[in-house]
A and B are shown apart, each in its own frame.
Chain A
C-alpha cells in the first residue's frame, strides 16, 4: 500500500455498536476496524451476533446505539454513499432464481451504478467461471454455482468493503479453495477490506489476517488466527472457538 492509502481511514470502523430487542441484547459495545487489504474473520457460535452485526453494517438493521463508518462514511447519516462502497454475499440471500445469471448481474450493476457494466459483467463471469451459465436462470444452478454468482454480484462495484457471511458454506472443498484463493487475491490486488464469517476454522486460519471472536453479542477475543489459540492455552483455533462458545465467562463474556 502507498503512504496515501495507509493514511486513509479503515474501510470499516465499528464504534460501540449496540443492538437491543426489548430485553434481548443481541450486540453490545462492539468496536473493531477492518483495514485496507485486510481479511478479518468474524467468528462465534450461533446467536453470537455476527449476522446482526453484518446487517447493521449493511444498513438493513438500525443499531440501538453506536456508529458504523464505511470508508469513513457514516452509514446512519449518508446511507447511499456508504452502501455504494460496500457489497455482500450471504448463503441466506440468494439472488432471484427467476432471472438468469447475466440478468441478475445487470440488474444489480445498474442499482450499484457500475460503469462500463457489460464489460464488468463479462470479466466477472470469466473470473468466477460462470460463462457457460450466463443465460441460465439462477434457480436452476447448484448451490455452489449460486454462491459463485452471489460472489460475482458482490464484486460488481469493486467495493472497498466486502461482507461475506459463510460464503463457502455450500461449496465442495475444491471449489471452496478456489474461492478462498480468489478472494485473497482480490483483497491483495484491489486493496479492499473483507469481513468474513465462517464456521470452518481451517478456512479462517488459511484466509484471515485477523479474527474477532464473539459470544452473546460481545467481542471477547481478537488477534492473529495462527497465534491466538496459543495465547489463550488452546490447541487450535477450533479448540479456542469451542471454549469461547461453551464458557464465554472465562473470556469476559458476561451476562
Chain B
C-alpha cells in the first residue's frame, strides 16, 4: 500500500470540500434536521403519557446511530461519484493506483466526513434533547464500530453497482439505507418482524446493534456473543464488498466499460 497515493485520493476530496460549501453542508445539515425532528417527537412521546419507556435513548439514539451509518455509506459513495461526475475514471485508473489504495482513499474520506456529522449529531442530541450517552456506556463504541463497518461495506457495494451498471444506476444507490431500515430493526425489536424478515435481519450487522441498544436501555445486559457476531459479520461484509468492487473493476477492464465510461456512453 502506497500511503502517498491514498493521500492523493483523500486530498482531492479535501480540495473539493474546501472550495464548496454545498459539499460541506450536507455532511451535517440533514442529520441535524433528523435529530431536531425526532428530538421533538421523542420529547412529546415522553410527555404524552407515562408509558415507562424513555423514548429519548430508545428512538433518538436509534435515529442518531442509523444516521451515522447512512453518513458513512454516503461518504464512500459520494467520494466515488466525484470521479464519476467529473468523468475522471480514465485518469484515475490509468495510474499506478491500486484498487485497494483507491478504496482506502474513499474510506478515509468517508471516515472524516462521517465523524463531522457524528459530532454535530451528538452535540445537538445531548444539548437540545438531553440524550445522555452514559445510557449506553462503553457499548457506544462497539455500536458505532459495527455501524461504521457496515456503512463502509454498503458504500463500496453501491460504488461497485454504479461502476458496473453506469451512472443511471445512481438512483438505486441513494435509497439503499431506507430500503434496509425495516430489516435493521432500528425502532422496534427484531421479534416484531415476520420470520422471513428476521432471517434477512440476521445477515445485517445493524440489527445486532439496535437489539443491543434496546437491551441496554431496558436495563438488561447486552449479549456480547451477539454483538461480537455482528462485528464479525460486518468485517466479513467489508471484505466481501472489497472483493466485489475488485471483481467489477476487472469486468470493466475486460469488457472495455472502464475505457468508455462517461455519463453519455454508458446506460
Contact = CB atoms under 8 A, between A and B. Distances in A.
Partners in one complex: yes
Interface of A: 19, 21, 51-52, 55, 58-62, 79-81, 83-84, 88, 90, 92-100, 103, 106-113, 153
Nearest to B93: A60
A96 B4 contact: no
B7 interface: yes
A112 B11 contact: no
B51 interface: no
B96 A21 contact: no
Contact of B259 (A60, A83, A111, A112): A60
Contacts of A59: 93-94, 253
Which 6 pairs across A and B sit closest by C-beta, in order of nearness? Answer: A110-B8, A96-B86, A58-B94, A55-B259, A84-B96, A111-B8
Given A98-B86, A111-B8, A113-B2, A61 B95 contact: no
Interface of B: 2, 4-5, 7-9, 11-12, 15-16, 19-20, 82, 86-88, 90-98, 250, 253-256, 258-259
Given A59-B253, A111-B8, A113-B4, A80 B96 contact: yes
A83 B95 contact: yes
A61 B20 contact: no
A60 B87 contact: no
B21 to A, nearest CB: 13
B253 A110 contact: no
Contact of B94 (A60, A94, A100): A60
A83 B94 contact: yes
Contact of B15 (A58, A62, A103, A113): A103
A61 to B, nearest CB: 5
30 contacts: A21-B255, A55-B256, A58-B94, A60-B93, A62-B253, A80-B96, A83-B96, A92-B90, A96-B86, A96-B88, A98-B20, A99-B12, A99-B16, A103-B12, A108-B91, A108-B95, A109-B8, A110-B5, A110-B7, A111-B5, A111-B8, A111-B9, A111-B92, A111-B95, A111-B96, A111-B97, A112-B95, A113-B4, A113-B5, A153-B91
Contacts of B82: 96
Tell which of B12, B19, B96, B258 has the most Cβ of chain A within 10 Å: B96
A62 B254 contact: yes
Contact of A88 (B2, B94, B255): B94
Given A61-B259, A84-B96, A90-B90, 7 more contacts: A60-B94, A96-B86, A96-B91, A98-B16, A98-B19, A107-B15, A108-B8
A21 B256 contact: yes
Contacts of A83: 94-96
Nearest to A96: B86
Given A112-B95, A112-B96, A107 B11 contact: yes
Contacts of A110: 4-5, 7-8, 11
A80 B11 CA distance: 21
Q: Report whether over half of chain B's contact residues are helix, strand or loop; otherwise say mixed.
A: helix
Contacts of B86: 96-98
A19 B97 CA distance: 24
A106 B253 CA distance: 26
A159 B11 CA distance: 23
Given A98-B16, A113-B96, A61 B258 contact: yes
B106 to A, nearest CB: 14
Tell which of B16, B19, B253, B259 has the most Cβ of chain A within 10 Å: B259
B220 to A, nearest CB: 50
Contact of A96 (B7, B12, B95, B253): B12
B183 to A, nearest CB: 37
A178 B90 CA distance: 26
B127 to A, nearest CB: 35
B91 A95 contact: yes
Contacts of A96: 12, 82, 86, 88, 91
A97 to B, nearest CB: 6
Tell which of A97, A106, A107 has the most Cβ of chain B within 10 Å: A107
Nearest to B83: A96
Contacts of A92: 90
B256 A107 contact: no
A226 to B, nearest CB: 32
Given A111-B9, A111-B97, A99 B15 contact: yes
Nearest to A137: B19
A109 B96 CA distance: 11
A78 to B, nearest CB: 10
Contact of B253 (A21, A61, A111, A113): A61
